[in-house]
Amino acid sequence: MFFRLFFRLISRSFSGRTFRLSSSLGFAFFFTLLAQNPCLAQTPTAPLSFINDVAPILRDNCFGCHGSKNPKGKLDLTKYEAMRKGGTKDDPIVPGKPEDSYLIDAMKATDKTRMPPKDSGDPVPAAQIAIIEKWIAQGAKLDSAIQPKADLLKELRQRWSPPALLEKYKFPVPVTALAFDPAGKKLAASGQHEILVWNAETGNLEKRIRVRPRRIMAMEFLDENHLIAAGGRPGEEGNLGIYRINGVADKTENGLEQLDGVKPGKVLVRNLAESEDEFQTIALSADKKRLAAAGCDRTIQVWDLSPGIAGAKLDQTIENHADWIFGLAFTPDGKSILSASRDKTAKLWDLTAKESLATFPDHQNIVYSVLAMPDGKIGLSVGEDQQVRSWQLQGDNAGKQAAAKGGHGGPIFRMIWLKDQKQYVTASSDQTVKLWSREKGDQTKSLAGATEQVLSLAANGDGKKVAGGTFSGEILIWNPEDGKLVRKWQNRPVLPPKPVAAPMPTPAVKPAPAPVEKPKATTAPAEKPKTAPATADKPKTAPAPVEKPKPAPAPAEKAKPKPDKPK
């Protein structure tokens, strides 16, 4: 249609004369016109996809308040059908009319009706609102491959894939989890969509394992070959898996192995669980037959590992907290589990009776980590209040405080036992790691050297190494016996140095032959022309004849140099 109109226009009469163009000149003019006016070349807008274009915007801006559990205004946006049904108001979308759709009005509002509210986050970017407007204008259709009742979070997770391993980190990545292997020779550390495996003796990087979680929040070795790791992407998904760290490498560069643990296979040997939000903590029972995991969904999953990795099964799910769970620990007999939460409490749960045994509220602030004393009678907990508190686990006094000890100058994030359980270790935002006596509850040593908040802790099997990871990406290893810093390095991908090739021997240079001496003349010779000496690679030339001097009273004039060419 446009071509016909175009050629009609260019063949019309101008100033009484008919203006005609050849087809080649006409097309040249046409494409020049398109280059100067791009709008003429635009094609009709392609239909937008709800699951690919719209749902990610709703997830990032709306699912936090309008999820499947207790959605605000009774409006659940995690399912297309529920969204179109509406909440306290009718359908928030009017297909074909974005200007009449409540969803758009709420996103564009500048007063208290704005969604998300000012106290919940930034407004939806204008470019993202424009995408939703265009989708509504096109009819607000659902993709044919998506069921109206489908869980959009799950659908989005299935369509997402983690990025490739970075060659280097642009910014330091906080070390949120550490774990020594049973022999104490390897140290696993959390990275950016990866687990980095370091040689604990030398500080050299040995392996990089690509994983689905953006960050790993907790790790424990099940044996020398299998690592349990939990983490995820905040607000989007949680992942709990078991990885074979000695799996087949996909790539080896200068001795550094790269393994792919994203999909179940030779490296990710078991993907135990997925959740709608990030896992924060895990715990293994002393006999390693039970595994517990918890996080931002406020539940504790307890897995039975006694049948082995392939046969591991979910034993029970515990809902005992009102907010995120940051810490877990089994009692020595493995029959109960302690938990620490953002709801400002620590709790004890009976795994056999499946009931709560005690609640400890004395922190009056966020509780980050818990331990059980070897006798199973006393619990330890630490948190935002900077105190190490001990409390009763049994009898009528269960949940009652026994003692409180200070010593850190900031919130205490982690707490672990040393091997003999005569000492425990704490890590704090005050940039220190401290050792405490189990018997007296007093601080015995302070381990210095960190330059940022210490977020993670690990101790090797014989208790002779304590490792800490910081917010600025440092890994530090101390000797707990003397409190000295043994080694410190940055947790980032570093290739081992390339082997230096032996220098090539310099070939011998043959000396140039001496120049050929020209025969002397019998009479007073004129000065020889200055020519470059002949080399072995050039053919020798006949000597130029000597010019006789002219008879004159004055001395003979010096002959000018002549080119060394045969005449």
pLDDT at 261 over 50: yes
Say how many domains are in the chain.
3
Q: What is the pTM of this model?
A: 0.75
Q: What is the pLDDT of residue 1?
A: 41
Q: Are 329 and 374 in contact (CB under 8 A)?
A: no
Is 533 within the bounds of a domain? no
Q: Does residue 81 lie in a domain region? A: yes
- 456 shares a domain with 310: yes
Over the stretch 36-78, which tens digit does the pLDDT of each residue have? 444 434 445 789 999 999 999 999 899 888 988 889 999 999 9
CATH code, domain with 372: 2.130.10.10
> In Å, how far are 195, 279, 336, 428 from 328, measured between CA atoms?
22, 12, 11, 18
What pLDDT shows up at residue 121?
Answer: 84
What share of the chain in percent tops pLDDT 90?
73
Q: For residue 2, what are the CA distances in angstroms to 10, 25, 31, 42?
A: 12, 17, 13, 12
Two tokens, residue 552:
């004159």
| Residue at 559 is within a domain | no
Same domain, 332 and 450: yes
Is-contact 323 340, C-beta < 8 A? no
Please check whether residues 121 and 209 belong to one and the same domain: no
- Amino acid 123: pLDDT: 94
- Residue 502 in any domain: the answer is no
Average pLDDT of the chain?
Answer: 85
Q: Is residue 101 pLDDT above 80, yes or no? A: yes
220 in Cβ contact with 228 (< 8 Å): yes
Domain annotation covers residue 211: yes
CA 475 to chain centre: 17
User: Cβ–Cβ contacts within 10 Å for residue 540, how many?
Assistant: 9
- Whether 172 maps to a domain, the answer reads no
Contact 92, 98 (CB under 8 A): no
Name the residue range of residue 451's domain. Answer: 178-490
| Alpha-helix runs per DSSP H in 216-372 | none
What is the rounded distance in angstroms from the CA atom of residue 266 to the CA atom of residue 268? 6
DSSP string over 69-91? SS-GGG---SSHHHHHH-SSSS-
Cα–Cα dist 64/153, whole Å: 12
pLDDT at 16 over 60: no
Are residues 223 and 286 located together in one domain of the fold?
yes
Contact between 345 and 361 (Cβ < 8 Å): yes
Q: Do 465 and 443 sit in the same domain of this protein?
A: yes
Q: Residue 500 is encoded by which pair of tokens?
A: 């230096």
Dihedral, CA of residue 352, residue 357, residue 363 and residue 367, to nearest 10: 20
Q: Are residues 436 and 306 in the same domain?
A: yes
- Alpha-carbon distance 428 to 406, whole Å? 12
Same-domain pairing of 264 and 303: yes
Whether residues 249 and 109 fall in one domain: no
Give the residue carrying structure tokens 């297909």.
95
| Residues 446-472: tens digit of each pLDDT | 999 999 999 999 999 999 999 999 999
Rounded Cα gap, residues 205 and 216, in angstroms: 18
Q: For 138-201, where are the alpha helices, taking DSSP H only?
A: 152-159
- Residue 274 and residue 402 in one domain: yes
With respect to residue 534, please indicate whether it lies within any of the assigned structural domains: no
Domain closes at, from 455, 490, 525: 490
| Contact between residue 336 and residue 286 where contact means Cβ atoms under 8 Å apart | no
One domain for residues 331 and 219 = yes
Give residue-wise pLDDT tens across range 501-555: 555 556 555 555 555 555 554 444 444 444 444 344 444 444 444 444 444 444 4
Query: In terms of DSSP bridges, do strands 215-221 and 226-233 run parallel, antiparallel, or are they unpaired?
Result: antiparallel
pLDDT in the model for residue 8: 40
What residue type is assigned to position 96 of the chain? G
